[in-house]
Amino acid sequence: MEPARLVQGNEACVQGAIAAGCRFFAGYPITPSTEVAELMAERLPRLGGKFIQMEDEIASMAAIIGASLCGAKAMTATSGPGFSLKQENIGFAAMCEVPCVVVNVQRAGPSTGGPTAPGQGDIMQARWGTHGDHPIVVLAPYSVRDTFDLTVAAFNCAEDLRVPTIVLLDEVIGHMRERVELPGQSEVRVVDRRRPDPSRTAPEDFVPYAHTPDLVPEMADFGSGYRHHITGLNHDERGRPFASPAEVDRLVRRLNGKMSLAAQRWGLFQEVATADAEVLVIAAGSPARSAKEAVRSARQAGIKAGLLILQTIWPFPAVKVADLASRARVVIVPELNLGQLVGEVERYACRGRGEPRVVSLTRVDTELFPPAQIYEALREVR
Amino acid sequence: MATARDYLLSDALPHIWCPGCGHGTILGALLRAIARIDPPKDDVVMISGIGCAGRAPGYLDFNTLHTTHGRALAFATGVKLASPERRVIVITGDGDAAAIGGNHLIHAARRNIGVTTICFNNSVYGMTGGQYSPLTPLGAFATTAPYGQVEPAFDLCELARAAGASFVARGTAHHAVALTDLIYQALQNDGFSFVEAISQCPVSYGRRNKLGNAAQMLRWQRDNTVNVKAAAKMTPEQLQGKILTGVLHHAVRPEYARSYEQLVARLGAEREGKS
């Protein structure tokens, strides 16, 4: 464990990325994510890594995919408008199974919105922003320490599944400074993509998009001897754009099957006082912080309140939500948008034994949820 | 001695290009130029965007990457910076490079990143059936210019030179041997190289502009281009309406990926010095 320090969320993100092995960053300045790029520009070349400020957000996304194909662990960071611009190439990464991490420090939207104001309006865009059925994993930290941990997890997940992984911060978490103890390098578990082993697989036998039972084919770096074609077109197992309808079907189903794998391996959440919770708060990102305090106050007041913090938002932790919600009378979902997460909660909350009432708490006035607002909601529904 | 044939994947052929298309000739020139250098195939990364030209890497036995529309140079920048030891070649078209990818072109040129870019210029969006591109000549017809093109065209070589490319050349499918030599020189340049290769699209451009069949379009290339060396002895009147070919610009400038490596080395040395 490193000594305790005052650390900003965006800095913890950089620390986590570097601890996970990130050695390539391409970005474009945008508030409130810019500190990520600035710190990467300073640190990466000192570690033998590469930083580049590209000409736009689209190019940044393209550059990290190119670097990842050379074997580097690569990341970009942006906010709402830039996230919109990256979407086409995020889809390319999903289709061509290129591990990469995209940090989106959400700000109030739509459009230019509030660059220095918090928001969570990108929850659906993070899942469905690019066209077509595609796999994508989205992790949402709720504290500075969590930002470090989930950035590490994002790299590990991207490498494990060969899917683009989004770290969905919000402005509060990105810009907040708090006292944290971050783990030392030896305490960080690092996952690397599986590469073909020359002693087992000859280049002529390498099948770059093999439909293996574990859904994730081995990945060969450019220049490693396993020459193959990579295309965003529908492709067969060899990466060639001549796939039959049956092969396209197999490809799209295998790619999207990774979402089930992600749910098993990278479905992360935290529970606070849920064991006997009759009133359950489900939250992600900065509202989870306020909810934690509200639930603590509610317990002191004798209300059987509990909290489920969703760290993985996509794939949506359906099983966990269904389980806890079925035991609750009321579920409250606070979010800094007009109700994106709550729709998913409603989809799964009523699948269990009970039929909890689902209450949506929303804010789009660029302000945070004070704990008192969530506490009041808990009191009202008790 | 390597030949162009060594790089073609016979099981990925035939190609998708229409009868009479100039792209095969230009690809042949590129492969002959590579064969003259004979690099290990593993060292070559060939990257393309979307469009007719974008399909070329899929026929080749290199590390090949067929990216999104206009973005080949942005992907290539990531590849070259992450792996400066690779020989990175970008194949693009006039719509891909000059319209949707124009921003990436000028910045790749400005950085002088070690990427050899071959722009297959057929004056039109062929893959989508003949819409005008930023390189469609004024007055020419296209499906989206049914009354003749109103917008003036780019001179893409001038743009690349002004933006900082250290090697700029133009050739044609008609002058295939000269084009091979230009691409060979481009591949030898240490920095960003841009070669505009004029192609013919008889199906989606020639037909609509009454330019005849492929042979007639190739003759048009012969009759309307002048090599820069010959041009030096000609009067402005004689050069009126002619397209210049040959090496248009060559300057020595630091290559970006190496400059960044030098920065990494310097910071490493500073740290060693301190400890």
Do A319 and A344 have their domain in common?
A: yes
Q: By the 8 A CB rule, do A208 and A238 touch?
A: yes
| Nearest-angstrom CA–CA distance, A188 and A172 | 25
Q: Is A72 on the interface with B (CB under 8 A)?
A: yes
Instruction: Inspect the interface and report whether the beta carbons of A224 and B42 lie closer than 8 Å.
Output: yes
- In chain B, the residue whose alpha carbon lies closest to the alpha carbon of A73 is B82
Do A342 and A222 have their domain in common?
A: no
Question: Rounded to a whole number, what is the distance in Å from the CA of B73 to chain A's nearest CA?
Answer: 8
Helix (H, G, I), strand (E, B) or coil at B261: helix
Q: Given this model, what pLDDT does residue A382 score?
A: 80
Which CATH number is A329's domain given? 3.40.50.920
- In chain B, the residue whose alpha carbon lies closest to the alpha carbon of A65 is B75
| Nearest-angstrom CA–CA distance, B82 and B99 | 27
Do A247 and A290 have their domain in common?
A: no
Residue A295 has pLDDT above 80, yes or no: yes
Which CATH number is A248's domain given? 3.40.50.970
- In chain B, the residue whose alpha carbon lies closest to the alpha carbon of A49 is B264
Q: Where are the beta strands (DSSP E) in B165-208?
A: 167-172, 193-198
| Nearest-angstrom CA–CA distance, A302 and A323 | 23
Instruction: Inspect the interface and report whether the beta carbons of B74 and A232 lie closer than 8 Å.
Output: no
How many structural domains is chain A composed of? 2
Do A186 and A102 have their domain in common?
A: yes
Residue A1 has pLDDT above 90, yes or no: no
Residue A352 has pLDDT above 70, yes or no: no
Name the residue among A220, A209, A208 with its Cα closest to residue A248: A209
Residues in chain A: 382
| Nearest-angstrom CA–CA distance, B104 and B98 | 9
| Domain edge (last residue) among A266, A288, A308 | A266
Q: pTM of the entire structure?
A: 0.98
Q: Given this model, what pLDDT does residue B275 score?
A: 53
| Nearest-angstrom CA–CA distance, A356 and A354 | 6
User: Which residue in the block uniquely carries the two structure tokens 């070690």?
Assistant: B114
Name the residue among B87, B90, B62, B64 with its Cα closest to residue B76: B90
Q: Given this model, what pLDDT does residue A286 score?
A: 96
Q: Given this model, what pLDDT does residue A242 score?
A: 86
Phi, then psi, of A338 in degrees rounded to 5:
-90, 20
Within 10 angstroms of residue A257's Cβ, the number of other Cβ atoms is 15
Both tokens of A132, joined, read 């077509």
Number of Cβ pairs closer than 8 Å across A and B? 132
Residue A49 pairs in a beta bridge with: none
| Nearest-angstrom CA–CA distance, A23 and A4 | 25
The H or E element that residue B245 is part of is strand B243-250
Within 10 angstroms of residue B5's Cβ, the number of other Cβ atoms is 10
Instruction: Inspect the interface and report whether the beta carbons of B65 and A69 lie closer than 8 Å.
Output: yes
Rounded to an integer, the average pLDDT of A323-342 is 96
Q: Given this model, what pLDDT does residue A353 score?
A: 58
Q: Given this model, what pLDDT does residue A348 score?
A: 92
Do A159 and A288 have their domain in common?
A: no
- In chain A, the residue whose alpha carbon lies closest to the alpha carbon of B265 is A48
| Enclosing domain of residue A115 | 1-266
Do A148 and A239 have their domain in common?
A: yes
Per CATH, is B4-274 categorized as 3.40.50.970? yes
Give the residue ranges of DSSP H helices in A208-285: 245-266
Average pLDDT in chain A:
97
The H or E element that residue B210 is part of is none
Do A220 and A286 have their domain in common?
A: no
Distances (CA, A) of A196 to A204, A239, B40, B111: 12, 16, 20, 34
Residue B90 pairs in a beta bridge with: B47, B117
Q: What is the ipTM of this complex?
A: 0.98
Instruction: Inspect the interface and report whether the beta carbons of B82 and A70 lie closer than 8 Å.
Output: yes
Question: Rounded to a whole number, what is the distance in Å from the CA of A92 to chain B's nearest CA?
Answer: 7
pLDDT tens-digit profile, chain B (275 residues): 899 999 999 999 999 999 999 999 999 999 999 999 999 999 999 999 999 999 999 999 999 999 999 999 999 999 999 999 999 999 999 999 999 999 999 999 999 999 999 999 999 999 999 999 999 999 999 999 999 999 999 999 999 999 999 999 999 999 999 999 999 999 999 999 999 999 999 999 999 999 999 999 999 999 999 999 999 999 999 999 999 999 999 999 999 999 999 999 999 988 877 65
Do A209 and A346 have their domain in common?
A: no
- In chain B, the residue whose alpha carbon lies closest to the alpha carbon of A26 is B78
Residue A269 has pLDDT above 90, yes or no: yes
Do A255 and A275 have their domain in common?
A: no
Q: Is A241 on the interface with B (CB under 8 A)?
A: yes
Q: Is A203 on the interface with B (CB under 8 A)?
A: no
Q: Taking the CA of residue A291 as centre, how many other CA atoms within 13 Å lie in the half-sphere pointing to its CB?
A: 30
Residue A31 has pLDDT above 80, yes or no: yes
The shortest CB-CB distance from B42 to any of A26, A89, A223 is to A223
Q: By the 8 A CB rule, do A4 and A182 touch?
A: no
Residue A286 pairs in a beta bridge with: none
| Nearest-angstrom CA–CA distance, A224 and B263 | 26
Q: Given this model, what pLDDT does residue B271 score?
A: 81
Q: Is A198 on the interface with B (CB under 8 A)?
A: no
Name the residue among A36, A80, A35, A23 with its Cα closest to residue A57: A80
| Domain edge (last residue) among A237, A266, A295 | A266
Q: Given this model, what pLDDT does residue B70 score?
A: 98
Asked, as a colleague might, if the bond just before B14 is cis with ω within 30 of 0, I would say yes
Dihedral over Cα of A158, A161, A163, A165: its sign: negative
| Nearest-angstrom CA–CA distance, A4 and A382 | 39
Q: Is A92 on the interface with B (CB under 8 A)?
A: yes
Instruction: Inspect the interface and report whether the beta carbons of A231 and B61 lie closer than 8 Å.
Output: no
| Domain edge (last residue) among A231, A266, A301 | A266
Name the residue among A10, A233, A6, A239 with its Cα closest to residue A107: A10
Instruction: Inspect the interface and report whether the beta carbons of B74 and A72 lie closer than 8 Å.
Output: no
Which region holds residue A239: left if phi is over 0, alpha if psi is between -120 and 50, else beta?
Answer: left
Instruction: Inspect the interface and report whether the beta carbons of B71 and A58 lie closer than 8 Å.
Output: yes
pLDDT tier, A350 (very low <50, low <70, confident <90, very high otherwise):
confident
Residue A330 pairs in a beta bridge with: A279, A357
> Torsion angle, CA of B250/B256/B259/B263, rounded to 10 degrees?
160
Q: Is A347 on the interface with B (CB under 8 A)?
A: no
Instruction: Inspect the interface and report whether the beta carbons of B68 and A62 lie closer than 8 Å.
Output: yes
The H or E element that residue B223 is part of is helix B214-224
Q: pLDDT tens across A155-182, in order? A: 999 999 999 999 999 999 999 999 999 9
